Structure 1
Amino acid sequence: MQTKLFKQIKKIFQESHYQLYLVGGAVRDKLLKRESKDIDLGTNARPKEMLSILREFNCKHIGFGTIAVYKDSETIEITTFRKIEKYSGVDRIPEVVYGDCIDEDLERRDFTINAMAIDLISGKLIDPYFGESALKNRQLRIPKDDKLVLREDPLRMLRAARFISELGFEPSYSLVSDAIDLASHILFISRERWLMEMDRILLGNHVKKALDFLVDTKIINFILPEVIPSMGVEQPEEYHHKDVWEHTKDVVDNCPKNKNLRWAALLHDLGKPRVMTHKKGQIHFYRHEEVSAKLADHICGRFRMSNQDSKEIIFLVRNHLRPNFYSDKWRDSAVRRFVLDAGDYLANLLALSTADITSHRVSRVNAGLKNLFFEIKFYEFPFFICFQ
């Protein structure tokens, strides 16, 4: 973290008698002993004052009190303390009132684990809301008034889910309760911002816990209402031993950390409740993959996904059953056709099909998939699937 540019900036602020603090996620990651990609600094200097004392560097005021300092491939952002930061409407343009001390700045931050600062002159940790304790106890809390903080910026509800997914922390009772009351406010946030947070939620180590949070707080009702009918829908034990939603969470968690792959896992069985039939005491979901693909198409559009990502996700959803239907009766031409149809999506399709195995037939289906992998010379792919 102590790069040459960082040390130069620190020296300039000290000589100019301005306060300078390491703030936010960089402090959190430092205490967690994790590498932080970004260096964010806070100061009582106003933007014009920063541009003046940093004139020897390539600097730019990127808006709302933040100065970006560029040198070679490194960028450091320094922001004037904020006393007030409010958002209105869907444009995500904040109303900002500058502050004069670090305590005011920390008070308006989203979670206590992000409401810490390190004084770069003295090295002292500034932690008025016990963020370090929250890190040790794996708790996710808001510094002061939960409802006010969430109302000012509803995106923080999705950020809460992201931190739960990435860190596995427990949300406080008040955070969950107030998120329930304000869940509909997520509609004020742009869909592109939804996507940015959902991508990170799906890639977390504790994604099932984060999905539970989205369900418990009713946020899922507004961003992904299509999953609600799958909750409590039973499945034949021969294929899956959990209801559709619980199975879906397992599949997401079982998938390697690939964005499109995990999106496809989340959406792959959405069609089941819509096509479910009962025949001779058996539950059937005929052609559910086709309905799931159509729903996935709508969802990709809602989240403003790129055409490239949408195309892959929809393909994976529509074809997720094909590898599991493999048998030794397939001719070489059928295997070649399967490989050609999958194209660049082959590795992810095989990964999704493997993650989808959560039944009592695991050994049988795994054996079939393993034979298929040998048929298509799967060893050429640097992959991650293990067989029992």
Structure 2
Amino acid sequence: MMGASFVSTVPSLLPLQAQVAPPSSSTSSSAASVRPPAARPVAVRCKTENGFADGGEELSRRDVLKLVGASVGIELMASSGSFVESARAADLIQRRQRSEFLSNVRGTFFTAIKGNPDLIPSLLTLALNDAMTYDKASKSGGPNGSIRFSSEISRPENKGLSAAMNLLEEAKKEIDSYSKGGPISYADLIQYAAQSALKATFLASAIRKCGGNEEKGGLLYTAYGSSGQWGLFDKQFGRSDTTEPDPEGRVPQWEKASVKEMKDKFSAIGFGPRQLAVMSLFLGPDQTATETLLAADPDVSPWVQKYQRSRETVSETDYEVDLITTLTKLSSLGQQINYEAYTYPVPRVDFSKLKL
């Protein structure tokens, strides 16, 4: 009994034709055109126990598989277009949702900080201490919101930060009230409050350079400020909260720590003298006292002087850019960012109910 191979089950490929090129010929006196010979059919022959059935040229199983694969590939490419477009549209919707939510969060922080400017140093130290619990070896700790727990914020290194945390608790209530994508994490809350506090200090510096004129200071900061440097920081919106305090002993008491202790701690998380110098604003309420201490160290002193000179310029570019870069790295230590956080399903429109 003869058994046909599977290639005979591909009727969509039959008949296949091979185009034969016309032979060359000289031009006759009547200039008659030469017709090419008729195309020769190429059939897929069914293999039997006695060989191949008669007729046509032989196409191997491999040839047919290649043709089938090409056909399937073309089909998939044609049908995937709508899927790709839908994915792109969904991604754009989520980006817009996150962007709008973050803009509203900034508005809440702006109002809260403007009414409590004395808490700016504490907000910065709060963000630093929450992140400084990061342990490189165990990949634990970091900016995970653990400082919100009473057992952690009551530690000696966090002395005086409760008022800043209380301010953020009130801000969180307002933020969560208008969030359509769930409550904001404490980890995000703390780091983005630090961003807003930094922007407030940059703006205040610009206003001082304009003799206290707020309008001119605002224009100066808009024209020469560092707003465009926050792009990467803004994308890291979607930190997760830990469910318990981080271990004790990972964060120094900055106002009592020696420069060596500060350097050792910064080194433990991958930072050096440059980052230590630029973060002086975060190391306690008195930036001048901290910089005076750091300036006594030969490794840190050149950077302290560099940033002091930069702050005297109109744009403060070196200082602001390095500070933003350092905070961006600090605020993501050990964190897996959820880039779908705070997004939400968009209601479908039932066009059948629309009255045209």
Shared fold per TM-score greater than 0.5: no
Larger of the two Rg values belongs to structure: 2
Structure showing the higher strand proportion among its residues: 1
TM-score (norm 1): 0.22
- Where relative contact order (Cα < 8 A, 6+ residues apart) is larger, the structure is 2
